[in-house]
Amino acid sequence: MAKNKFNKNWVHDHLNDPFVKQAQKEGYRARAVYKLKEIDEAEKLVRPGQVIVDLGCTPGSWSQYVRNKLAGQAGGGISGTIIGLDLLPMEPIADVHFIQGDFREEVVLAQLEAIVAGRQVDLVLSDMAPNLSGVAIVDAARVEHIVDLALDFARAHLKPSGALLVKCFNGPGYNEILAKFRAEFKTVASKKPKASKDKSSEIFLLGKTLKNPA
């Protein structure tokens, strides 16, 4: 009974969520788009001409937002390059290069490098999150692992002046993740956008300008 009640409450909350309604109205695939939108509007992360990588991009709302920001060129198309990577499939988005696979694998990196064509990446976005177990110490390790993957990717591909935005959670292990960001980036800020639910410990970390670029 309790589980059914929880599911009904979730469905009710979801259907009445103003960000869900706004996403449906504006044609975005998920309410998560408004988390990125708020952070971008404050930080001016997405700019024409950039190479932007969206890690864990499925279902695609962040890539949609970036595409819309880079659109509006004469004759159509976008000013910049957007590459989305995910283990899961994603419905195509105009002007977004999608690679399905694990970005730690050589075959996936080869596809990425073919698209990037020798350029360094301006912005790495990661809305990735692990499957949570409810066991705090286990979940903290899983979250830290996901963030480590994004940091490793950024070290390898980001231009010295670039930025990395990742999702994490303000709980066990957060201070360790924050310390890793501060070791890598000259500027680090934490962000809790309005679309991130109050009861959620979800928080976003933004690192700008690598301290020790490759």
- Residue 30 burial (C-beta neighbours within 10 Å; 0-12, 13-18, 19+): middle
Active site residue 167: yes
102 is in an annotated binding site: yes
Which pLDDT band holds residue 134 (cuts at 50, 70, 90)? confident
CA 126, 161, 50, 214 dihedral sign is negative
Dihedral angle, C-alpha 84, 90, 92, 95, nearest 10 °: -10
Please tell me the pTM assigned to this model.
Answer: 0.91
Q: What is the pLDDT of residue 5?
A: 58
Q: Rounded mean pLDDT of 184-213?
A: 93
* Tokens read off for 37: 């939108």
User: What does the pLDDT look like over 75-84, one tens digit per residue?
Assistant: 678 999 999 9
CA distances in angstroms from 120 to 35, 36, 81, listed in the order given: 25, 22, 11
62 appears as a binding residue in the annotation: yes
| pLDDT (mean) for 168-191 | 95
pLDDT band at 197, cuts 50/70/90? confident
Domains of the chain, each with CATH number or no CATH: 2-210 (3.40.50.150)
Catalytic residue among 167, 180, 191, 197: 167
- Which tens digit of pLDDT belongs to each residue from 88-112? 999 999 999 999 999 999 999 999 9
User: Cis link prior to 160 (omega < 30° from 0)?
Assistant: no
Q: Is 148 annotated among the ligand-binding residues?
A: no
